[in-house]
Amino acid sequence: MLRFHRMFSLLIALTMLCCLPFSAQAVGGGLFSFFDQKDEVTITQEEYDSLRQFSKLAEIMEVVDSYYYEEPDKSAMLEYAIWGMLQGLGDNYTFYYNPTRWKQMWDDDEGSYAGVGIQMMADYNENKVTISRVFKNTPAEEAGLKKGDILIRVDELEVNADTMSDAATLMRGKEAETVEIEVIRRGENIVFTVGRRQILVNWVESKMMDDQVGLIALYDFAGDCVEGFTAALNELIAQGATSLIVDLRDNGGGWVDAAEKIADLFLDGQLLFYAEDRFGNRNENYTQDGKVDIPLVIMVNGNSASSSEILAGSLQNAGRATLVGTQTYGKGIMQYVIPLSGVDGEEDGMQVTFAQYFMADGTVVHKVGLTPDVVSEMPEELVGEFFELGDTADPQLLKAWEEAVRIRRNEEQGLEAAGQDLTGTVSEPDWTFTAEDLLPLIVEM
């Protein structure tokens, strides 16, 4: 923690230095006179050496201020300098949120904004963006956009993994206005003109299937997903569910804290996973008592990532859940979301990768993913097809349902002999977040 605060103070100092209006002639010796006036500032040699490393930014700012043919936008220059500095890490998950994106990120978490009604996922390996979900009763659904469409253009912006945040910003705005969206669907380029209106995101949907199998689709680890999942679980058990399917396909992650709380519903006092940082610090995450004993099948695919892999992998590793589907994405690193000092009175922030996580037995997830217990591929002709919740025309869901029924029937005799009661419910948790609780929390985007 001390290491973080020290670097943070140096960055604040640098920001203040680079934002000061000056000219090479006016300051007489330029900004670098700061380094020569040691009698005016008292810092340690270590701090001085660290700060001096950033002097090249100030030098460039000074040259631009002296010679550029137009009045420079120093705020924009500083923002791009920050982006460039973080890009130097070579980590796609460490980046800066300017005030617009910082607000957008929290709006996403709240699940209410004016937009078109799609969820996107970036694939940094192939540098492409895929629509992973089209929300019901939205302009996107009405226009004809579909899950699986590869997004390549929004208005004049060429869309790829690096520009996905810019694309999201363009698709938001005033209600009733339109935006032009181009996608590739099965090799064909299709252009849509889509309106904007208020979008209310639902993180969880549930349904009772045949043979007392409950189904919960969890779309994102955000907002009130934990409360929604808990309520759905209780409702399904009250309706007589004796086995459960959790659909995490195309769930790219979110708050790790939410994944821990949902896993806690199914495990008692066990190590879920552990994380290690570059300094060798290890943090272990355990569940508490109060589990629900119900046969559990979890559906995953290549877009199930991060928090999805923590939930699915920890329950699989503990022998608590059977995974059905295809190999998961393999994002086994975690990020802090950290508020910064703000820009012109508006809040900004950043996220930074701070640790790699492992399953309780040491299994590596990063760049590997989770291997399902039962492999079920989606036929090529059905990729991107929209299925209603619980529709067993979805072959992967049908396979998960068959597995849930099989496991339940195999366990029935043992459960009856042990006298376990599957009709109980879990108590409603008090997980009301405040701003202080959320920052800094672990997040993955």
Cis ω for the linkage preceding 440 (within 30 of 0): yes
Q: Is residue 94 part of a domain?
A: no
Q: What does the alpha-carbon distance between residue 185 and residue 384 come to, in Å, rounded to a whole number?
A: 9
- Are both 221 and 168 inside the same structural domain? no
Output the domain CATH number for residue 236. 3.90.226.10
- Are both 268 and 287 inside the same structural domain? yes
Indicate the pTM of the whole model.
Answer: 0.75
Q: Is residue 80 part of a domain?
A: no
- Are both 339 and 283 inside the same structural domain? yes
- Are both 251 and 125 inside the same structural domain? no
- Are both 211 and 306 inside the same structural domain? yes
- Are both 67 and 151 inside the same structural domain? no
pLDDT in tens, 284-318: 999 998 899 999 999 999 999 999 999 999 999 99
Q: How many domains does the chain have?
A: 3
Which of 69-83, 211-225, 416-430 has the lowest average pLDDT?
Answer: 416-430
Quick one: residue 373, left, alpha or beta (phi over 0 = left, psi -120 to 50 = alpha)? alpha
Residue 109 has pLDDT above 70, yes or no: yes
Burial 351-364 (b: 16+ CB within 10 A, else e): bbbbbbbbbbeebe
Task: Please identify, among 48, 72, 96, the residue that sits at the C-terminal boundary of a domain.
Answer: 72
Q: How confident is the model at residue 119 (pLDDT cuts 50, 70, 90)?
A: confident
pLDDT in tens, 381-428: 888 677 889 999 999 999 999 999 999 998 876 655 555 554 455 555
Which of 198-207, 273-282, 426-435 has the lowest average pLDDT?
Answer: 426-435
Which domain covers residue 175, as residue numbers? 112-200
- Are both 164 and 28 inside the same structural domain? no
3-state class (DSSP) for residue 175: coil
Task: Please identify, among 200, 224, 241, the residue that sits at the C-terminal boundary of a domain.
Answer: 200
Q: Is residue 165 part of a domain?
A: yes
- Are both 275 and 348 inside the same structural domain? yes
The H or E element spanning position 368 is none
Task: Please identify, among 72, 91, 120, the residue that sits at the C-terminal boundary of a domain.
Answer: 72
Give the torsion through C-alpha atoms of 60, 10, 84, 442, to 10 deg: -170
- Are both 36 and 164 inside the same structural domain? no
- Are both 192 and 46 inside the same structural domain? no
Output the domain CATH number for residue 134. 2.30.42.10
**Are 2 and 8 contacting, i.e. CB atoms less than 8 angstroms apart?**
no
- Are both 251 and 388 inside the same structural domain? yes
Q: What is the model's pLDDT at position 152?
A: 95
Average pLDDT over residues 84-92: 93
Q: How confident is the model at residue 108 (pLDDT cuts 50, 70, 90)?
A: confident
Q: Is residue 86 part of a domain?
A: no
